[in-house]
Structure 1
């Protein structure tokens, strides 16, 4: 819980610092335009990749297969799309890596390994209330 609280403080501070640095380099309006462009590009990419994964999952289900990989891809695309639509350049980079088909398998494998470890240890998934 402490790590989550620290992340909620450190990550926005880093995002603000990056925005100021980019603003110093290219100017305020250009930075603002770049933020808007990255948000719209993130929404477009997440939608496009999400539709591909959805179609793949439907094909697997119609063939009688469990679409486990497609589900993990969908989680990565959803998280990446949210990050790309949030203002900030650091979250945009991580979001792009999650959405982009060539780098997504790295995150999918990490998510798969985490889920397997959690289930193998008899762990449960908890959702915290604030």
Structure 2
């Protein structure tokens, strides 16, 4: 329901702002502002997008959680869409989303409202996964069971007992 209200409210706000600003400064200056904000917004989105991509690559390279750089990238993408949409309200929200501190604030507020049930990263170097990486023990939720198999590049897989096992 809130999405429907948003789709109705935003155009009404934009039309009201166009009428007010156009009445104050005239038609051509109003249209010029809309075009200039779209051009300026595009340049800023490119810059911020490149920065977000480098942060995302860095998080992948360091095997860190990529959630925050992905969220920043998504907000920059939304910002670009808002800045290309003609209007003063959408431009204001779009420019706000280009400010890293504002994006961090929005992300912090979203984290308060969203609860992640599980998070799984892909295979890590040197380990293979035969089952899901972990499962929570229903008897003791503080215990997480996991399975892993270490791969040794120097030793063939079917070499026989390791000396630690008996047959």
Partner of 1:100: 99
Q: Which has the higher contact order (CA 8 A, sep 6+)?
A: 1
Taking structure 2 as the reference length, the TM-score comes to: 0.65
Residues 71-110 of structure 1: matches in 2 within 5 Å? 71-110=70-109
Q: Secondary structure at the match of 1:102?
A: helix
Taking structure 1 as the reference length, the TM-score comes to: 0.82
Separation in 2, partners of 1:115, 1:36? 36
Residues 1-130 of structure 1: matches in 2 within 5 Å? 2-116=1-115, 119-120=116-117
**CA-to-aligned-CA distance 1:41-77 (integer Å, 9 cap, x gap):** 1111111101001011111211122222101101111
Indicate conservation of the 8 Å contact 1:72/1:111, yes or no: no
1:33, distance to aligned residue in structure 2 (A):
0.5
1:111, distance to aligned residue in structure 2 (A):
2.8
Partner of 1:124: none
Separation in 1, partners of 2:111, 2:49? 18
Aligned residues: 117
Partner of 2:145: none
Structure 2 unaligned spans of 5+: 118-167
Coordinate RMSD, CA, aligned: 1.4
C-alpha distance 61-9 of structure 1, shift in aligned 2 (>3 A): same
Structure 1 unaligned spans of 5+: 121-130
Q: Which has the higher helix share?
A: 1
Q: Secondary structure at the match of 1:66?
A: coil
Separation in 2, partners of 1:81, 1:100? 13
1:113, distance to aligned residue in structure 2 (A):
3.1
Return the index of the structure with the highest Cα Rg. 2
